[in-house]
Structure 1
């Protein structure tokens, strides 16, 4: 058959594989399968208590293991948790007198609302500043027992559990490491660094503190939990006491603030009077102030004289600066004669006369006249003298200008100094008057503030606290949590539920064939037998280590792999009273009764995949049939991976492949096996084309010929999923036994194998469910019956 052929994944329950028809198209050799309505694989099954109980029994060790592990972990974790002690303080919040408001001469009392008061008190009790005060007051930041770990080590918890189991009284009371709380002075405002350092301890207080008002009363309970009972009681009382103090301080805050401010102001006024009087005396002494008469005239006269001189110096400086600028810019001719140089003026006049003479001579005699050169030389000399005079004049004016500037600056400085002296004289007189006035004002305020301070102190003394502690917390004797028994019981129940749920989920996802119900439900074929798991070598000798053990059987106790395979394949021969042997006898009975009055002669044994036990089933079936006295022939048709010859320790030099390839007599290939009525034909040498040999006419004639000689012929063939050899052989035999390894093959694979056989017209006797754990897969009754029946009969025979 071609590997490209496709088969449906599953079949509906009403389709029987042994009756499934197949037809062949007229124009091709392809087999056309009937169209059937296939249900979707994995449809939900009815879930009922019986099925759940079967799942629980099947996977009981998984459920017990999960429950044991989880319960053990929960127990250890519960015992790791240190017991918590709870201390409770009860406080009363009385009615506050409230503030009195003066309205038109009438004093009105403010109303006190109970809900608002209780809620406000709860907020204050849980406020961070109050809890910080408690931490500092009790020095909890220095107490290692306060922030101790809430968990014990695993070793400590195991030791405690062992003590509980052994009922050791010494281990019963919990270990409490108490460090006595010592009170410390509470400071004012804290720095951000200090607040950050106290944050873990405040968080611990806030997490473990619970405040709850008592209904219809003005009382509330303050509860604190901790692993140390002494710390629990101490913290509860400290928080309550600090709340009382804080509330009273808040109540008298307005009075104390006023009295403190008045007291502080009074002391400041007194100090101010003393400072003012001392300042007045020091000022009078320092400035030699006896009388200010006559001094103002001298200062004013000096100031007037200096002002006149400074004005004149400024005018002279402006004049000198103007002359200096004209000379520096070359405008010497524009300088007034009073300030000009007489020599320079004379040279200018002479230069003008020579210029006039030179012009006349140039007009009369021409420019080349000899006397013109002389006149030009004289004019050049005069110009040089004029230039030199201009430089001298500029330097002179510059020196005069700088001198005038210095004189002006000196006079202005003297004028400013005189002005400062006059102002200082006036300031001294004014300052003296101010100091005198400060002394008089300070004395008046001091007298008034001293009276107000005495009145404020009287108001503070009249105030009373409206909060009191009704019942302080006492050191608890018994812990309040954890409830270990309840937690362990819940863990056990949850773990059992989880284990059952996991088992059910695994069962739902498991699509393998595991039980007779699975065989009937998904293949619509009978389960011919359920072969239990065959144990190791020693288990195969169950009930036979007595005098009737044969030397051959005792020699197989070496335990190697070949011996184990031989023992399983020849179980009916070596251990006929085991549960597996009884299962093979049940298979033999089912085969003989598969056809009324006409037991099958040729039986094909195959499987879906390799390593499912088809060879073991074939050999034990052949031995079981031979034990009834019928002549049985076992043929190894697996010419790809033969193993029957290994089971019986024979050779495969000559075998089935030899007969199909060469012209030999069948008697030359038949080998006698231990026991009566049982013979075997090995596979022979492995040929290159097993499928072609098996589908030949010679193979059909061989089976027909052997059917006349033997009562039963058992054929061991290759698996269906690998090659088509089994499908070819299934058309030549009376029926097929399909061996399915319990829990290994999926439902689709088994269904495809059955459909593959039925499609070619093969008759399927049924399915042998092999290698099944009877206790695990829900066959407890069958296992118990087989086991008890076999060994009860053996015991009776031994007793007889």
Structure 2
């Protein structure tokens, strides 16, 4: 049986997925587009790659090592213990190297804001570049002769000898010697743009399992690459040394102030003890107080140490509140490095959290793609920095409060110890107290002197935490530009774009090219696909099937196009037999026994299909009648080589009977009813009662009746 409509919907719905073969066919149909886009894209990439200027890379090396510790024998204590904060010291130094302060100093030192317009101009043309005015100068026109250089910045030209300073516009510079060009034009970029260019071409990476850092800079000129990378590492090492010195100076100054105060307090305590002994005459040994004095002495020393730390913390907080914004971070670093606070993990964590926020803010506000201060990310970082500072100050205050609590506990313990001395003579107790006070202050003064000596040694050391290992040499050859990879990527991109365009054209093309397209559009199953049957003269040379003997038989003409007769083994003949088989097993055909063959437009092969289909039914042993219902352009009589009259028209009008109108053919069991005379009103004739009665009569004599009708779009006869 034929497949039902529901089963067809299920099968067609399951077949909506695009297979690899369909994709390949789509690409094959639009191969010109794929090839064209691929060639254009690859050619464009090849043009860019082949015309790309070579780039040179210079490498300088430094190492991270706290040489101050080795030189001072450990007396110059490190300002911070990196190992306890879960940070990477090497990455910290790399971020500092890429900070705005370092790169800005490099830009100003090397005059990187002046950039030649012509590629042939040497990049190390100028020395001692200073911008005396930030605005108003965009381009400089320089001309070089044998004795001097002439510069113009939109106004009057300025002339100076080689090696002498030259101020033009808002720029003061020096040309040390005559360059290899006679004229050049230089553009002036902003400081932020120059910083962004340096950061874009600067890269710093650590070597595995070492404290060595390789700093690389890439430029279009080998001299520029070497000059800039050497300037970066030199400025970084210098700033690191200056920072270490400034920290040591601030620490020394603070310790000198504390030592001066402690010495004064010690002198006052010693004078009070001497006066007391002179007045009261207390000079004999007091062994009985040894035990109590030793305990009270230890408590007092510890209390004075905590009190000194507290005064130091309070003094630093007071100083920090008076510092301007640019000095706030340095004051915080001094506060964090103070003894007692440096061991506080909460304070240390908050301080480095603030440092990371500041580095993130600097990276957003510098460079060619820098963000404005009103950028939401910058504002958020500013808020986080302010919050971190507040939390850090609060943590220090909390530390002071903790120190106060410890001092109070020591005071209570000291009070309990002093209560045990009440049974002793008052004079001896007073002397013991004064001696304890003097010893406590002396111990604290000795400790401050030791710290002061360390600070002086640290200040005198001429190295920082980083040391320069190697300066960059002049690159001998350009770095690889990855031409092969870029060309391969260009080829892949071209293939992707071409394939995408081909698939897009395929998706937007609504024409019907395949059987599946037609079935999906009409929502009916296809029974067979009839291949194109070319009309060839060879058909005239084929021998026709022999006409069975019998009276009244009619032979087909030599030029017949019925492939089912002329070439029974061809693919076209097999296609008609396949269609016949599907129709035989169709329940509709079995119950009705009639078929109407039509088409949408003329010359689409409906008459040929009807004739060949009738032949295949007859070859199956069925009695078949083919009726030429095309009463406008009848052709069936020509195919079978019979006369057109009498035919269907005469039979319907009663001018002829069944035996005269129906003709036998050369195929056993197959009969033809030609059209007959062409009437002026074929639609009314085919839609009348006599036509319905004729069909009922003919169905009794034939197993299958096939109608050849006019095209649907040409006439309404087929619909009737």
Q: TM-score range by the shorter chain?
A: 0.3 to 0.5
| TM-score, structure 1 normalization | 0.39
| TM-score, structure 2 normalization | 0.42
